[in-house]
Amino acid sequence: RIWLFKDHLPLLPNGKVNRQALRAHAETEAAGPAASDIEGEGLSTAEIALIESWTGVFARPGINLATTFISLGGDSLSYVSAYLATEEVLGAVPDGWTEMTIAELAAARVERNRFWSKVDSTMLIRAVSISFIVAYHFALSSIGNGFTGAFFVISGYLFGGIQLQEVFKGKSSAPILNSMKNIFIPTMVFTLIESAGVMLHGKAPPLNQLIMTADLVDYLKIEAQHIPLVGHEVSLWYVHALLKILLILYVATSLLPKAFKLMDRRFEFSLAMFGLGCIGRFLIPALIQPDILSHSVPELSTFQLAFTSNLATFMLGAVIANAPKGGTKGWLLALVAGYALLSGNFYGLTNGLTIAAAGFIMLTATRVTLPRPLAGLVITLSGASLYIYLSQFIFGLGVRALHGSNWPLMQTIAAMVGGVAVYMLWTSSVKLFGKVVTGRLAVPWLTRS
């Protein structure tokens, strides 16, 4: 019946229907009203505020009442920003908020408690882990090596509960690529900054830092040959390994049959990838180097750092996130305990203990109640964890340059505070960009005809 409405349809100069314009109009209608167009539409104050806040966090238009954090392609990096934006509007963030629509979230608004605040356990674990890792790097603490195990568990848990859910519901692996992009860009920015500093000292930046293969280098052999390291490429191994793990999962989910995704077999997929990861973590190292069975993998060896050795830890978190509800907690606790025990034997006691702690907490207490000031600190450190990890040596060495020698406490504090400052600057820039692209900020040189 298209001819009945021909006068109201977008037409080409030749009189034919402009199908491209029609399709764009349909997509706009499906997306719903933008934040700038919703006043007067009968929405509540909380709904309007959430749409405005999330539009800034995700830097995209078309957010509406049916939007969820997961449907926006949220990941572990945008998780904290969206959490804070939601808490500011609602007073407290409800359980399961990542799967709730904006309309459902607005209806769950409660009075803010002046003294106490609930935070997700993932945030607490990330905040504690990054604190110990940085303190260890600057020799303030002898405990810290192995805390990346908790990082991998939490990253996998968030991946399994957010991106993997969207992959199976949307039948597309694109959310994984989006997560990789969000990690790759800041990593490359800080890599280039540090490389520039190395070049200013008349040295060439290490190739493995630029091509992101720090997790594939055997630093024990380099030390044995008395070859000095240039820069701090060793510290980037975690991020490089994480990017490769996400790439593997992107390929694996892309190859899955459509019927498998339609049946929503996220748990089975997570369990299969966990089993594959265990081969790379335990079996292959034991076959190549049998004495590992009686001695832990040496620190900074390829076996410890490689993405193949950490895929299983990442997928353990995804298994926990996607386990069927009811009647599974007992064997999951046993799985975590067994895996942590093996990891402690192969990769050191601290690694095993942090994996066990992260796994047990995620299975028994997904949220914790903290005094509001402490909760604010935990949320901030959690959100800034990637930026603290990437920039820690830039700020730590700045203190050393001013002081003239190592000063562990001040270097650790500078690294943490500096990383938080970078995180705030980065997120503010993203929100500003979001206002520009959604038309909520007038920029003369963009609007000038």
Residue 96 β-bridge partners: none
Question: pLDDT-based confidence at 199, cuts 50/70/90?
Answer: confident
Q: Give the CA distances from residue 424 to residues 119, 151, 380, in Å, rounded to whole numbers and listed in that order.
A: 19, 21, 9
Per-residue model confidence as pLDDT tens digits over 328-366: 788 999 999 999 999 999 998 999 999 999 999 999 998
- Report the Cα 309 to chain-centroid distance in Å: 19
Question: pLDDT-based confidence at 445, cuts 50/70/90?
Answer: very low
DSSP states of 171-231:
T-SHHHHHHHHHHHHHHHHHHHHHHHHHHHTT-PPPHHHHTT-GGG--HHHHHHTTPPPPT
Name the pTM for this structure. Answer: 0.84
Per-residue model confidence as pLDDT tens digits over 397-421: 888 888 777 889 999 999 999 999 9
C-alpha span between 249 and 255 (Å, rounded): 10
Written as one letter, the residue type at 111 is E
Q: Give the CA distances from residue 332 to residues 152, 174, 212, 338, in Å, rounded to whole numbers and listed in that order.
A: 17, 29, 34, 10
**Alpha-carbon torsion, ordered 29, 34, 38, 39, to 10 deg:** -150
What pLDDT, on a 0 to 100 scale, did the predictor assign at position 17? 57
Per the rule left: phi > 0, alpha: psi between -120 and 50, beta: everything else, 101 is beta
Instruction: Kindly state the percentage of the chain with pLDDT values over 70.
Output: 84
Mean per-residue pLDDT of the chain? 84
- Identify the top-confidence range among 8-17, 31-40, 250-259: 250-259
Per-residue model confidence as pLDDT tens digits over 49-98: 899 888 888 877 788 888 888 888 788 778 888 888 888 888 888 888 88
**pLDDT of 157 strictly over 70:** yes
Tell me if 179 sits within 8 A of 76, measured CB to CB.
yes
Q: What average pLDDT does this structure show over 158-177?
A: 90
Per the rule left: phi > 0, alpha: psi between -120 and 50, beta: everything else, 424 is alpha
Q: What average pLDDT does this structure show over 373-380?
A: 94
Q: Give the CA distances from residue 103 to residues 63, 90, 111, 128, in Å, rounded to whole numbers and listed in that order.
A: 11, 12, 18, 34
Surface-to-core class of residue 56, CB atoms within 10 Å of its CB (0-12 exposed, 13-18 middle, 19+ buried): buried
Q: Give the CA distances from residue 399 to residues 6, 32, 130, 411, 415, in Å, rounded to whole numbers and listed in that order.
A: 70, 50, 19, 6, 9
